[in-house]
Structure formats: C-alpha cells, structure tokens
Amino acid sequence: MAYIGQSPSIGNFQVCDAISVVNGQAAYTMQVSSVNVVPETANHMIVSLNGIIQKPGSSYTVSGSTITFASNLATGDVIDFIHILGSVLDLGVPSDDTVSTAKISANAVTAAKFNADVISGQTALATAPADTDEFLVSDAGVLKRIDYSLIKGGGMFEFISETTISSDTTNIDFTTLSTDYKDFYFAIQNLHPANDEPRLYMRVFTGTGGSQAVVTSSSYGYAEIMRNETTVTDNNNSSDHMRVSHQVGNANEESISSEVFLYNPHSTTFHKLVKAHTVLMNLSGLVTIDNWGNKYAATTAVTGVRFFFQSGDIGSGKIAMYGRKRS
C-alpha cells in the first residue's frame, strides 16, 4: 500500500546497550536496559562493527540473546550499535491510552492479572461476615466501603436450632442458651401428644456443664387468658412448672402450635419471665387461643429450657429456637 510521506514503521524496534569488545572473543550477550533480548532472527537486526554494516548469517549469527561474530574481535575493534528490528508482525508495546475495550477479547483478562485486592466475587464467604469485613455502598452516587459492624442487623431474632419429633419422646430440651443472645423465641409447630388431654408444660435449666439441672421445685408461676369459640377464662397460680397450653386432644388432626418468648434468661438480677401465645384444638374440638404469662421466681441465670406434656409423651411435631442478638 502506498503512503503519502514516510511509511509507518512496524515492529518492536530496540537499540541494544553498548557492548565492550574483549580481545580474542567473538560471542557477546545482547541486552536492552540491562535485560537480555532475543531477536527473531539474525535478519531482524542491523549490526555495525568498526563503522561497517555487517551481513547477517556470514558476518555474524544469533542464538538466543548471544551474537557471535565470524571471527574473534581484537583490541581496538568497536561494536558501534546493534539495532533489533523485531518481528514485522509484532507491533511491540502499545502506547498509553491506545487500546480500547473493543480491542480486548472477551474473557482475555483472567484473575491472574488482577491485584489481590480487586473485587471479583470469585471467592464465596462461607461464614457470617466479621465486624471488620467491608461492603461497598453507593452514597449519593459515590462508591464507598463500610464495615459490616455498622450495617449488620441488631435486635432481630435469628435461627439457632430445631428439634423434630417423629416418635414418642418424653421431653424436648434446649440446653444451650448462648450469651450471644439476650432473648429467645421458640416456634412450636403442630406438637401432637401421645396421650389425650394433656397440657404442654415448660421448665428451665440452671447451672452449666455437669452441674446443669432442670428445676422441678415450686419456683414457677403462671397466669392464663384463654378464649375458645364460646368462653373466656383466666387464672393465676403458682406451680412446679410453667404452662404453654391448655388441654389438647390427640386425635389425628389435633395438635398445638405456639410462640414462646423467654426474656433475658442470663440475668442474675431479675426473675425470669416467659410469654406464650398458643392455638390448639381442645377436648370438645373447638379452636382455643391461649395466652400465658409465666415466671421463674429466681434471680439465678437460666441456661436451658424443657418442653413436655403434663402426661404421656410427645408423639410428633417440631420446635425451633431463635435468639435475639444483644446489638
């Protein structure tokens, strides 16, 4: 193709560092900025020795980064320059700001080319974030980072564990109440008694490790407001247990479901309070709503809870425990 003016130069052109001649030596290492360079071939070079351009192949040969002259050089010889022309198909290093996005092939830039702190999303976080983990947020259009401690939820219940019963079981115990949580919520779903007409009771554990034990003394109290389809009743009593429900039948379709809240069990200052909202089918087949207020009348810290029927086993159902974080 013809050009107006000088035709464009194509190739990765480099001028080698100056080489000092050693008397009686023919082979020399070619470097650019003190780094070895390897020409495409001897034909891709212009070599001047003692002011005379040398012929590739006969006056010199190339192997890797070594140029070897046809005969040993002597004191007084001067290698004027070695100009490496590069490959005629090699454009060399592009100038700054000359490569557009459209010129980069899809998936050509791999993770190996990213800095260690680049956000790529290739590594999954397998656990809950630490307080010092950082997230990106847009603040009025400005991208900023923020610590997880400043945005994490506080005061909400989070799932801890669940117990599912499929065969007769005497009790359902939750013996670990982590101090990471201030309050606890127990979601009772379709608890079905093995016997007919029992109430669902609750007791607490105190102590830890080998000294942990369920409290069976008359240290509890409860108050109830119950409503079914025909009546409203209430009572207030002291007992050796807390109550979650009124009497429930054990026909195939009968069960109880409830929400039980245990407040501040780790306190050593206050008595422990428990609230239960329960719905069930009573002995007459009526829908019954039970609202219970309970107390454990001691300042001892509570370390666990037990659910059990007044008589007989728990035939089936599940109870899930949730905790409310302190923050």
How confident is residue 182, by pLDDT bands cut at 50, 70 and 90? Answer: very high
Q: What is the C-alpha separation between 292 and 101, in angstroms, rounded?
A: 67
CATH topology of domain 157-325: Jelly Rolls (2.60.120)
pLDDT tens by residue, 278-306: 998 766 777 888 899 999 999 999 999 99
pLDDT tens by residue, 269-278: 999 999 999 9
pLDDT tens by residue, 38-90: 988 899 999 999 999 999 999 999 999 999 999 999 999 999 999 998 655 55
From the list 104, 70, 264, 59, the residue with the least C-alpha distance to 181 is 264
306-311-312-314 Cα dihedral, nearest 10 degrees: -40
pLDDT tens by residue, 228-273: 655 555 566 778 999 999 888 888 888 999 999 999 999 999 999 9
Show me where the domains of the chain are located.
14-84, 157-325
From the list 290, 263, 272, the residue with the least C-alpha distance to 188 is 290
Residue 294 phi, psi (nearest 5): -125, 160
From the list 291, 211, 283, the residue with the least C-alpha distance to 243 is 291
How much is the mean pLDDT over the chain? 87
Cα Rg for the chain, rounded, in angstroms? 42
Q: Is the pLDDT of residue 10 over 60?
A: no
From the list 241, 249, 247, the residue with the least C-alpha distance to 216 is 241
